[in-house]
Structure formats: C-alpha cells, structure tokens
A and B are shown apart, each in its own frame.
Chain A
Amino acid sequence: MSGAIVQLGDVRDQAQVEDAADVVIIGTGAAGATAARVLTEAGLDVVLVEEGAHVGPEQLRSDMWSSFKHVWRDLGFQVASGRAITPILQGRCVGGTTAINGAIIHRMPEKIWARWRDEFGLGAALPYAELERIWQILDRELFVGPAPESVLGKNNSLMRTATERLGIAGNLIQRNVKDCEGSAHCNQGCPTGRRQSMNVSYVPRAVAAGARVYATCLASSLVTRHGRSTGVVGRFRDPLTGVRGPKLVVHARRAVLLAASAIQTPLFLAKNRIGVGSGVLGKRLQAHPGTAVVGVFDAPVEMYRGATQGYESVHYWDERMKFETVAMPPELAMARLPGLGPELMRELASYAHLAVWGVQVRAEAQGSVRAGVFGGTQIEYDMTDADIRVLKLGVRRLSEMMFAAGARQVLPGVHGLPPAISSVDELAPMFDAPDDPRLFHTIAAHLFGTALMGGSAFNSVVKPSFETHDLPGLHVVDSSVFPTNMGVNPQHSICALAWLAAERLV
C-alpha cells in the first residue's frame, strides 16, 4: 500500500475522515517518526496524526518570523512562568522539533543511564547494550558525522581555538546532516533538506512503506473498547488561523502510541483522565535551560556562514554545564544585544563581527505543565539557586573562552553588569548578586519527565514496557517518560527509546 501526507486542504469538504491501522501514532517528531520507521518496516500498517503542517524545504524562508509562523509552536511565544519568564521552544509541524533543531547528536551518557538503573529501576527495561545497537543504526540511517571542516565557519572554529588555548576538551559536533552546505539556518528549518530531521528522513520513509500522515490534525481523545485503547479522535485545524475542518477517527488494531512531546503528552493524558492518579502526571518537568554569551571580534566572524552549531565542549559535564556554538540570526541577535536606540543600531551594524555561544545547564529544577484556565498551556519552571550558580559559572567560563579566542569585548547579557566587558574580572559582581534567574535571559529547549516511567501506578504513569498503567493499548514513547534530564542534547536518546518501544510491539 502506498502512503500519503493528508492535510486540511485535502479533506476540507469531507464531513469526517476515517481510517484504520495496526498502530496509530500521535506526533511526528523524534519519537513518533522513529516509531513509525520501525513499525512500517516490520510490516505493520501505521497512521500518524500531527497537529502541525507539512512544510517542505522549498516553502521555508530564511527569516525567523516566517519560520515561527509555519513550523514553531505558538510562533515561538510559548513560555514558562516562574521568577523569570522562560521561553519553552518547540516545533509544531511534520518532523516536530527535529525540523527546527541544531542537528546535534549525542548518546545518553552512561552515568545518566546508571542513575536510571539504580534510582528508578529501569536498567532491565532499557538495556544500554540495546540502546547502543539502535544508536548504531540511527547513526547510519541519519548520516551522523562530525561537522565538516569545509562548512565549519568562524563562529565554530573560534570555539575550537578557545578550547585549545585554555586546554579544555572540545570537539566538532556530531550532526545528522548529509552534505551540509553551512547556511546557518537550522533553526529556521533547513532550506535544502540536508539536515536529516524527521520530516526529511523517517516520515517520508514511513510514508513510502505505506503510512498515512494526517497533518494539521489535532488529536484530542482516545477511542476505547473493553478497557483498551483502540483508536484516536482528532480534528483537522489550520494551525495558524485555527479554522476547523472535519473530524478524524482512526481505529487502532494493535496499539496507540503517544509521541506528542514532554509538554503536549501530559496535557493529552490529563484530558483523557489517564495517569491522573499517579500524582506525577505533568509534574517533574525537567529541562536544560541555557543562555547565550556574545563576543565582539575585530575580524569578521560572519556566523551566518557555517554549520549553525558545529563545535561544543562537554569538559564540564560533571559540573552540570555544556557549551556549544549557536549561529544566531540577526532578529534574535538584535533582541539579545544590550543597547537601545542608536547604540542598538551600531551594535547591529557590527553583526558580522559577533560570535554567539551558549551554555546549557543540566538543571535540577522541576516544573509542571497543565492546561491553562482560559485554554492554552500553563507551564511553571523555575531554576533553583544551585542551577543559577552553575549558570553564573557557565557565563564566566564562556566569557573566558571568548577572550581566549581573541574577542575584543564580551556582552555577557547579565543584569547589573556592564553591557560590554573587556575582562572577566568585570563579571565579579555577578557572583555577589542573589542567585536569581531574573539576572539572565534564559531559554529551555530540551524537555523531559512529565509522564514518568516506573513500576507502580501510584508514582508513575507509564510501565517499563512503555504502556500506560491506566489504559492497556496506550503507550507513551517520547521524552515524557524520561526520569531525568541528561546534560546532552536529547534527540538521539528519544529516538532510541521510541525505537525500542516500537520493536516491542512488533
């Protein structure tokens, strides 16, 4: 059978769309698309339901706003509240967040896995050797390799210079990209389809094997029969305007997989009264919040040339911080620059001389997610004081690295400090200031833990088999089930767990 991607425009005139498959998957991001890849190639019939649109590389533009509109959730305006307001970044399109991510590939650190084994009893359910087997396949199929020298660009090579001069470990980032042309557009969506995000890799592969993708369709409830999940009900809806189309009903002969991300999965479960009695649904939201430091160089950096994220350092991973380069488009750089008025316009004029690097923290903070009173999503997240101390140290180390690479000035982006510093000594007041997230502008992009996996329905939502405790036939396969964050970029671990979950259904 040949598959298809069906969107609102294709079914607008129909009263209802009905389908049936062995497995129905909600979400086409890292988790959902990977599960579809495994299931279809094992001969199962699969349907995917995706809230966002299918946006081909040829439809992508290079400005951030167009990308926010068509492929990001809430046009990039989703935030968590706490002492500070933290943007919570996600994709909403076929391919999910992988369609806007930096293509950074990491395997789950063994130390994290050991914690999952020892503290959460998940060693037998998620054997590391199995994960390694899967990562090898993923590496091959998603063209994982180090950022090529030919498209490194200066923003990345300067970080290498810094790590070499300071004697700290650093490496070219392993990326899932085939023939990267170094356009520094990963976060807008790769305009040439070279990044092997799910919309160009596993979704088309599953479609070629017969899967149907219902895009621009929000899954809202489950069909149940004899106490078992037997299907999904959704409604087509233009993600941008909210204009509604027909209802979708898909029957699942074998299972329903929920892969809607660590924010939307707990919302879906709560709405369907699943896992509510566990006391942990939507709680324990963990992340890798981070902030960016800007360096001003005499020579051009031109961060718009090169891999968006091509160099990193995990030297201080044990201290809960990771550094990576990130080429910021001018729209985002401008918002991050300290000046206002003529000063801002002068800073923007020197855009070609700016380098931007980020620190992400393996935060201990735990937040929550629930449906907002007036619709929408209510996310609470507040870095702890200890997390802030890690962030302060991270900003200091990044600044040292910028100076080691030859920066004339560093724009630390910390309230209470001079907007531009010429030596790290000028950061001293930051350490005397309270450990308060409002000193920084942070964002969070890696999300975990809101539908915990565990042995008991009294303190977890999902069994070690990925099936929910409350509803047989419903499996959660995204990073909601992760008991902790990891301190490295999560896509590869999310894919591996989803792969494992899917294999167990075959």
Chain B
Amino acid sequence: MSWWSFERRWLAVIWQTLLPSGTPGGLALGARDVPLDRFLDELIAFAPRRVTLGARLCVWLLTFCPLFVIGRFALLSALDDDERLAVLQKLAASDVYLVRELPTLFKMLGALGFAGLPAVQAEVGIAVRDEAPPDWVGAEKP
C-alpha cells in the first residue's frame, strides 16, 4: 500500500529532525543526505503489514501532536527545527509508555536505514566490509 506524498514528507521531516546533518562534534551526514525515502519503500514492500500500518498511524499522531504537546495549532512539519526537536524530546520523556515510544519507533526505523549505509559506517570508524551500499539505495520503487 503506497503512502501519500504528504505522509512521506511528514516522515522525512521527522527523520531529518531525529538525524540532522552536519552536527558539530557529531556526524557530518544526516537523514537529509541519504535516500531514506527509498528505505521507506523497502519497509512498505517487505515489512509486516502491522508494522507499516502502525508506522503510518504514528506519522499522523506525531504530525498533529504539537497542539497537545506545546499548545500550538500547527503541524509538526510546520514548526522550526528547534521547536520540532523540543516536541519530540518532550514526547520521549513522557511517563506514558506508548507516547515515549513514538519518537523511539522512528529513531529505530531511521537508524536501520541510515546507520547501515557504508558511508555512515565509515564515518563512525568502521572498516567497512561491503563497498556497495545495500540494494535499496539504488532500487527503483519495489
């Protein structure tokens, strides 16, 4: 089941907030520099349906959460970077288990795609075994 392009944009913004590029003292690479959109295609094509449906629902929950978290009537993607990060941090610190798992879910999914890339692994110091990136990087939509 394909995602709407606005849902993809919302997720891209969440990933870019969680995994920003060019962090001083951190990695130069971030979600913006790698084709995580294609990784989403992989997830949609191959992950169990409950996972992708759950992720899709969670994208909506995160996108509409600023009203409930910071009292701002705005989409998460419409906030500036710092505000967006603050919202996600607040959720991650929640005492409600399912609420704090929301950002964790996207951190986990993003990490699976992002940190598996040879360029990222090389940046963290690993002598990378595979020169070519995983299939999904160059794949057409499955």
Contacts and interface: CB of A to CB of B under 8 A. Distances in A.
Partners in one complex: yes
Interface in B23-78: 23-27, 30, 39, 42, 46-48, 50-51
Contacts of B136: 65
A495 B100 CA distance: 41
Contacts of B120: 330
Residue in A191, A240, A341 whose Cβ sees the most chain B Cβ within 10 Å:
A341
Nearest to A377: B48
B136 to A, nearest CB: 8
Nearest to B84: A341
A345 B130 contact: no
Interface residues of A, number: 44
Contacts of A352: 124-125
A345 B107 contact: no
Contacts, number: 126
Given A330-B121, A349-B26, A66 B135 contact: yes
Nearest to A372: B50
A68 B47 CA distance: 10
Interface in B76-98: 85, 88-89, 92, 95, 97
A74 B97 CA distance: 24
Interface string B118-137: 00110111111110001110
Nearest to A342: B23
B13 interface: no
B108 interface: yes
B126 A330 contact: yes
Contact of B46 (A69, A345, A347): A69
Contacts of A68: 112
Interface string A72-89: 001101000001110000
Given A66-B135, A84-B97, A340 B46 contact: no
A429 to B, nearest CB: 13
Given A62-B130, A340-B85, A345 B115 contact: no
B117 interface: yes
B115 A331 contact: yes
Interface string A414-441: 0110000000000000000000001000
A167 interface: no
Contacts of B19: 341, 344-345
Nearest to B117: A63
Nearest to B135: A66
A438 B97 CA distance: 6
B18 interface: yes
Interface of A: 61-66, 68-69, 74-75, 77, 83-85, 183, 185, 191, 240-241, 300, 302, 304, 329-335, 340-342, 344-349, 351-352, 376, 415-416, 438
7 contacts: A61-B134, A63-B117, A65-B134, A75-B47, A330-B111, A330-B124, A331-B115
Interface of B: 17-20, 23-27, 30, 39, 42, 46-48, 50-51, 85, 88-89, 92, 95, 97, 100-101, 103-104, 107-108, 111-117, 120-121, 123-130, 134-136
